[in-house]
A and B are shown apart, each in its own frame.
Chain A
Amino acid sequence: MSYRGNILVIDDEQVILNAVKKICSAENYYVEESPDAKDALNKLGKKKFDLVLCDIMMPEIDGFKFLDEIHSKKIESPVIMTTGYSTVENAVTSLYKGAIDFIPKPFTADELLTSLSRGIKYLEIQNNIKESERFNRNSTLLYVPCPSKYYRLGYATWVSLETKGTAIIGITDLFLKTIESVSDIQFMKLDEEIIQGISCLQIICTDGQMHQVIATVSGRIIEINEELVNNKTIVEKDPYFKGWLYRIIPNDIDYELKHLTPCSSDRI
């Protein structure tokens, strides 16, 4: 396998740094470690990293401040957040502050690797966009952005509010572009409750990887897209309309919208 990218891991626990280094090195990533955010910001100033894996609970500068810092310093490396205190709030705040993914601790090697592979893919797409902008090649559309009336959580999932108080949620095209072809989808059951920031769906890809899809908003599932259940490829063909996942009755949409990004802001 060829070299896949360089990663900066930030954690105040040496055992985690060691474990991540070991796992990633075996998968042909180059890994550098930082014991705290200050050191990491130093390293990021000197060198470009493809991905950053960052803990939230750290002394002095915590994960959220770190996200603010790299945003203000215009460091473009995508950040994946992780924490032992994996609450819904932490997950949602991370994604809202610009992290591309959130892995609750403790995680398995596979959980880490699927997230990293999506991250690398995401970076590739972002780089391609920049390149095409540089050469003014607007003709090639790398992914279809969300319709402007939708809201998204991170870059992965969207929600569309319906007039009768219900909402439908789905996966963004960008997320689908970061994974291999869908081979199976594991849905939740009707009437079950989904919670913002917590996995509500598993996508199994042709390469055998299993990806967790994080729910955009909380609510009770009142309908599952039957068409999608019968034909899994619809989601890839039409992720924003025919490929929706669940219709839900949101619990507290006004509060949760605060952590969502309006898709209209994506089209400048």
Chain B
Amino acid sequence: MSNKIGFKLILAVGLTAIIIIGVFAFFNIQRQSNALLAEVERHANQLSETVISSTRYDMLLNQRERIDKTITSIGKQQGIRSVRILNKQGEIIYSSQKDDVGKMVDKKTESCYACHAANRPLERLAINQRTRIYRTKKDTSRILGIITPIYNEQSCWEADCHAHAKDKTILGVLDVTTSLAEADNEIKRGEVEIVIFALAAIVALSFIIGSLVKKWIDKPVNELLKATDQVGVGNLNYTIKEKSNDELGKLASSFNIMTQKLSEARLQLFQSDKLASLGRLAAGVAHEINNPLTGVLTYSSFLLKRTQDNPELQEDLKVIVRETKRSREIVKSLLDFARQSVPKKNNLEINEIIEQAISVVENQLTINHVKLEKNLDKTIPQIIADSNQIQQVFINLLVNANDAIGKNGGTITVSTSSLSLSPYGIVHIKGAVCPKRHDLIDSEFKIEGLPSIKLKAKFNGREEVIHLDPVYGRRAHKYLKEIDVNKKINILCPQCSISMVEENSKCPKCGSPLFSIPVPNESNFEACTRVGCDFQRWESVDEAGKRDFIEINISDTGCGIPKDEIPRIFEPFFSTKGQKGTGLGLAVIWGIIDNHNGTIKVESELNKGTTFIIRLPIKQK
């Protein structure tokens, strides 16, 4: 569970949510409780002012009892804990709690400290400096106390009682304490609400993220995982069916393409491997079988010689000799197949080879009432190939076509044509040099199997070795370090540091200067100096045009090949001819065409016919 990407994402999102909501909640609670406290404070302050002004006349008239009554009645109000009036010496003169009257308050206690810091009462203080919040015991609710000084006024020193002298500034203080129980409850409720909100938000967020992750990531990733497992155990035919249009969908598509390519490559490899091991097997078999066959053939042919006066025996012996000779031919063809030597190539006219092959099988075709149609392109150029092997290919294919048609007659069509494929991305730049003829080819550093072109790049005063892709137009260059794609670089010879950049020439794509590498027997190879620009030009190759192939099609109107057998027909020993064939014919053909760097493929429709398409390269530079 904890290893799942969905869980990790939820965890990450949840943690982020907790932090954000937590911080938000903390400040929110802080702000709310501050506001609440300020409100309580303001209220207490107002109360203090009210007490002072309501007791003012009583004070002036020195009506002590009235003052006491007023304070007691105010002190009884809900939420007010005590109302006390202290004189300058710190003695409690009036109090809503009667026990306190006459007690002294220590001026050095914290509640008094703000004014009495320098042992001398200050005259004016802001409200927040006059308030204090404290607890009497640990488990009781908090208490807010506010002290309001009572200032000396003209009416005070002129009053009849003459209790206060004119030079005093402060006559005493009013101390009101209120309980914060209600405010604290309010704050606590707010806290609980916010925590509940935060938890609900986190759960909802995680749930939404979780279900989306499941839909968008978990499912496609699991599908991919399943597919890789399938491919891992060798099932290369597995494809991912449900695909979204996001990156994971693209990943699934490219995964499908990859497995398909892999399966093709495996088939190819399998085929080559099979052919190679078959070659070894054939060589061994040929040797082992030829010895006993020699026994049969020598004895039977010897008997044939000795029994010339016995015609009955002669007939039987002739069968033995004939059949043994046939076995000899089969083993020989096996050996020929096993050797499949490097083709001995000459210039040859493919049409001529086809005509020769036709002349070999012509009689057979006539017997089967097979019509042969030729669409030979007389203008196709010569190719370099082993005429013997190529002829064998055509004879085998024609014989196969004839067999496929059977005795009821049909048509075989043989056609040749030439076709061109673009040189861009195909042609190999061989033997590049610098203008001073230093060899630039680096056989040590290969790009996709071919020696790269080694150059020195200079930019920002820095020098760097770069390796250019030697295939025209492919651009799989290798840099030691990443270079900014918009960088224009100076290209130098790594040996003599001669610059190869041609300042006068301009890239037709981006206008940057081009660099130019001389190639022997060809025109200079040119490319753009801007790293990200894909412009390349190689005039002589472009002029030579596309790479040419000859295509030969041999089609018949025979029985066709079932779809499920098509992938297997080039396998050795795969035969549909039963006793008539060895199953080697098409395997040999495949090997020969492969040896000539050509390709062969087959298209077939059951009961309609089969077409073999062969492509052979025309002489390349």
Interface residues of A (CB under 8 A from B): 13, 15-16, 18-20, 22-23, 26, 57, 83-87, 105-110, 112, 191, 193, 218, 220, 249, 251-252
Besides the contacts A22-B298, A85-B287, what 20 more A-B pairs have beta carbons closer than 8 Å? A13-B291, A15-B291, A15-B295, A16-B294, A19-B295, A22-B302, A23-B302, A84-B289, A85-B335, A86-B290, A87-B335, A105-B290, A105-B293, A107-B298, A108-B301, A108-B321, A109-B301, A109-B302, A191-B356, A249-B346
Determine whether B344 belongs to the interface, using a CB cutoff of 8 Å to chain A.
yes
Whether A57 and B287, one on each chain, are in contact in the complex, defined by CB atoms closer than 8 angstroms, is: yes
With contact pairs A15-B291, A57-B287, A252-B344 given, residues A106 and B328 touching in the complex (Cβ less than 8 Å): yes
Whether A84 and B388, one on each chain, are in contact in the complex, defined by CB atoms closer than 8 angstroms, is: no
- How far apart are A226's CB and chain B's nearest CB, in angstroms? 21
Set of chain A residues within 8 Å of B306, measured between Cβ atoms: 26
Determine whether B324 belongs to the interface, using a CB cutoff of 8 Å to chain A.
yes
Whether A19 and B346, one on each chain, are in contact in the complex, defined by CB atoms closer than 8 angstroms, is: no
Q: Most chain-B Cβ atoms within 10 A of its Cβ — which of A15, A26, A84, A87?
A: A84
Whether A220 and B298, one on each chain, are in contact in the complex, defined by CB atoms closer than 8 angstroms, is: no
Determine whether B283 belongs to the interface, using a CB cutoff of 8 Å to chain A.
yes
Set of chain A residues within 8 Å of B297, measured between Cβ atoms: 106-108
Whether A85 and B286, one on each chain, are in contact in the complex, defined by CB atoms closer than 8 angstroms, is: yes
Set of chain B residues within 8 Å of A191, measured between Cβ atoms: 356
With contact pairs A23-B298, A87-B335, A193-B387 given, residues A106 and B293 touching in the complex (Cβ less than 8 Å): yes
Q: How many A-B pairs with Cβ below 8 Å?
A: 84
Whether A106 and B298, one on each chain, are in contact in the complex, defined by CB atoms closer than 8 angstroms, is: yes
- How far apart are A214's CB and chain B's nearest CB, in angstroms? 16
Query: CB-defined interface of B392-432 with A at 8 Å, one 1/0 digit per residue?
Result: 00000000000000000000000000000000000000000
Query: CB-defined interface of B279-305 with A at 8 Å, one 1/0 digit per residue?
Result: 000010011111111111111011011
With contact pairs A15-B295, A16-B295, A109-B301 given, residues A220 and B287 touching in the complex (Cβ less than 8 Å): no
Set of chain B residues within 8 Å of A20, measured between Cβ atoms: 298
Determine whether B339 belongs to the interface, using a CB cutoff of 8 Å to chain A.
yes
With contact pairs A84-B286, A220-B346 given, residues A105 and B291 touching in the complex (Cβ less than 8 Å): yes
Interface residues of B (CB under 8 A from A): 283, 286-299, 301-302, 304-306, 321, 324-325, 328, 332, 335, 339, 344, 346, 356, 387-388
With contact pairs A87-B335, A220-B346 given, residues A108 and B298 touching in the complex (Cβ less than 8 Å): yes
- Checking A84, A109, A112, A251 against B287 with a beta-carbon cut-off of 8 angstroms, the contacting residue is A84
With contact pairs A87-B339, A110-B301 given, residues A220 and B294 touching in the complex (Cβ less than 8 Å): no
Bound CA–CA A219/B186 (angstroms): 110
10 A-B Cβ contacts within 8 A? A16-B291, A22-B302, A26-B302, A84-B290, A108-B301, A108-B325, A109-B301, A112-B298, A191-B356, A251-B346
Set of chain A residues within 8 Å of B302, measured between Cβ atoms: 19, 22-23, 26, 109
Bound CA–CA A218/B339 (angstroms): 16
- Checking A26, A85, A108 against B290 with a beta-carbon cut-off of 8 angstroms, the contacting residue is A85
Set of chain A residues within 8 Å of B339, measured between Cβ atoms: 87
Bound CA–CA A249/B387 (angstroms): 12
Whether A19 and B291, one on each chain, are in contact in the complex, defined by CB atoms closer than 8 angstroms, is: no
Whether B298 and A109, one on each chain, are in contact in the complex, defined by CB atoms closer than 8 angstroms, is: yes
Pick the 10 closest A-B CB pairs, nearest first.
A84-B290, A19-B298, A108-B301, A15-B295, A106-B294, A106-B293, A251-B344, A109-B301, A109-B302, A106-B297
Whether B283 and A85, one on each chain, are in contact in the complex, defined by CB atoms closer than 8 angstroms, is: yes
Whether A22 and B344, one on each chain, are in contact in the complex, defined by CB atoms closer than 8 angstroms, is: no
Bound CA–CA A22/B288 (angstroms): 22
With contact pairs A84-B294, A220-B387 given, residues A22 and B299 touching in the complex (Cβ less than 8 Å): yes
- Checking B288, B305, B324, B335 against A106 with a beta-carbon cut-off of 8 angstroms, the contacting residue is B324
Bound CA–CA A83/B302 (angstroms): 19
Bound CA–CA A126/B280 (angstroms): 41
- Checking B286, B292, B304 against A15 with a beta-carbon cut-off of 8 angstroms, the contacting residue is B292
- How far apart are A152's CB and chain B's nearest CB, in angstroms? 22
- Report the nearest A residue to B298, measured CB to CB: A19
- How far apart are B596's CB and chain A's nearest CB, in angstroms? 15
Whether B291 and A84, one on each chain, are in contact in the complex, defined by CB atoms closer than 8 angstroms, is: yes
Q: Most chain-A Cβ atoms within 10 A of its Cβ — which of B290, B294, B356?
A: B294
Bound CA–CA A106/B300 (angstroms): 12
- Checking A57, A109, A220 against B305 with a beta-carbon cut-off of 8 angstroms, the contacting residue is A109
Bound CA–CA A6/B287 (angstroms): 28
- How far apart are A91's CB and chain B's nearest CB, in angstroms? 12
Set of chain B residues within 8 Å of A86, measured between Cβ atoms: 290, 332, 335
Set of chain B residues within 8 Å of A57, measured between Cβ atoms: 287
- How far apart are A129's CB and chain B's nearest CB, in angstroms? 33
Bound CA–CA A87/B336 (angstroms): 8
Whether A107 and B294, one on each chain, are in contact in the complex, defined by CB atoms closer than 8 angstroms, is: yes
Whether A84 and B288, one on each chain, are in contact in the complex, defined by CB atoms closer than 8 angstroms, is: yes
Set of chain B residues within 8 Å of A251, measured between Cβ atoms: 344, 346
Bound CA–CA A17/B287 (angstroms): 16
Whether B305 and A105, one on each chain, are in contact in the complex, defined by CB atoms closer than 8 angstroms, is: no
- Report the nearest B residue to A103, measured CB to CB: B294
- Report the nearest A residue to B338, measured CB to CB: A87
